[in-house]
Amino acid sequence: MIIVITGASKGLGKAMAKQFAGAGNTLLLNARNEIGLNKTKNELSKEFPQSSFHSFVADLSVKEQTQSFAEWCLQFGTTDILINNAGQFLPGSVHNEEDGVLEKMMETNVYSAYYLTRALLPKMMNNKNGHIFNICSIASIAAYANGGSYSISKFAMLGFSKNLREELKPYQIKVTAVLPGAAYTDSWIGSGVDEKRIMQAEDVAKMVYAAAQLSPQACVEEILMRPQLGDL
The catalytic residue positions are 150
- Cα distance between residue 37 and residue 58, in whole Å: 10
The DSSP annotation for 64-80 comes to HHHHHHHHHHHTT---S
- DSSP 8-state class, residue 171: G
According to DSSP, the β-strands at 131-135 and 81-84 are: parallel
3-state secondary structure (DSSP) of residue 146: coil
> Angle CA(133)–CA(135)–CA(137) in degrees, nearest 5?
145
Neighbours of 230 (CB within 10 A): 8
41-62 burial code (b ≥16 CB/10 A, e <16): beebeeebeebbbbbbbbbbbb
Closest to 143 (Cα-Cα) out of 158, 164, 129, 122: 158
172-204 burial code (b ≥16 CB/10 A, e <16): bbbbbbbbbbbbbbeebeeeeeeeeebbebbbb
